Amino acid sequence: MYLRALPFLVGAALLLGGCAGASYTVDRPDGDYDLEAMALVDDDMPTGYLERNSHVYDNQAWAEFVDQENPEAKQRQLDALGRVSGATKVFGQDNPGEHLGHAYLLVAQSTLYTSVSAAQKSLKKFCDVAVDEKDPTEEFKVTGVGDEASGFQSTSQVNNFGDSIDTVVCFRTGRIVHAVITSGLDGTQDVALVVKLAKKMLARVDAAFDAIGSGKAKATEVPAKSPTPRR
């Protein structure tokens, strides 16, 4: 997935969760949903993890990031799925090679869709997380986060390091789908940690929605061309 394209080597069935009881507005203009404000921050992280980079991706930029062989076709697919834009924030430790007993990356991601229906469908398609659909995956149950939630682990090979496991918790709030992801070598996966981080992220999401309701939201313009992702 896209996490492993980041500089580590340098240093799905839908499972419905319980409704959290919140009411998430779905009819505001796209720019009112401040996806970046919904992300986790350094204070939410386990000790030693700090923000390394963040990006907002329109469909063109996300397609170029996840499918370098045929980005035009990927963009058409994203458009057809009702994806509007997404924001990711990546956290890591200094000198990750010295911490191989822990996840080498943690990521918070939010993706805005054109409708609730499109957002619901994305939960069945790895919730916009850039996993390789050919990699083995295993689902696990998640409850009590957002309107509905799901969880899965995806396994891939990292040359000279063995299996790398991505542990993902996804949850939906209205027409926005969020994901918290950890990537680490086999043996470092910690479902309880990812669920805990997802609940912390839900608090950030709720605060962003509260800002919309109070008229304090800062409109977030989706750039015509997002910054080139760091690889």
Helix (H) or strand (E) holding 105: strand 105-113
| Per-residue confidence (pLDDT) for residue 114, from 0 to 100 | 97
Structure tokens at 119: 């957002």
Instruction: Indicate the residue type of 139.
Output: E
State the Cα angle at 173 between 172 and 176, rounded to 5°. Answer: 75
Backbone angles phi, psi at 51, to 5 degrees: -65, 135
Give me the helices (H) in 116-190, please: 116-122
The residue behind tokens 């009881």 is 21
| pLDDT digit string, tens, across residues 158-214 | 776 678 899 999 999 999 999 999 999 988 899 999 999 999 999 999 999 999 876
CA distance linking residue 95 with residue 105, whole number of Å: 12
Dmax of the chain from CA atoms?
52
The listed range with the strongest mean pLDDT (20-24, 55-59, 222-226) is: 55-59
| pLDDT digit string, tens, across residues 73-114 | 999 999 999 999 999 999 998 876 665 678 999 999 999 999
| Per-residue confidence (pLDDT) for residue 42, from 0 to 100 | 97
Query: Is the CB of residue 116 less than 8 Å from the CB of residue 82?
Result: no
| Per-residue confidence (pLDDT) for residue 78, from 0 to 100 | 96
In this model, does residue 51 exceed pLDDT 50?
A: yes
In this model, does residue 17 exceed pLDDT 50?
A: no
Q: How many CB atoms lie within 10 A of CB 140?
A: 15
Cβ-in-10-Å burial (0-12, 13-18, 19+) of 77 comes to: middle
Domains and CATH numbers, the chain: 2-8+15-213 (3.40.1000.70)
| Mean pLDDT across the chain | 83
User: How many Å from the N-terminal Cα to the C-terminal Cα in the chain?
Assistant: 12
Helix (H) or strand (E) holding 140: strand 137-140
CA distance linking residue 165 with residue 129, whole number of Å: 14
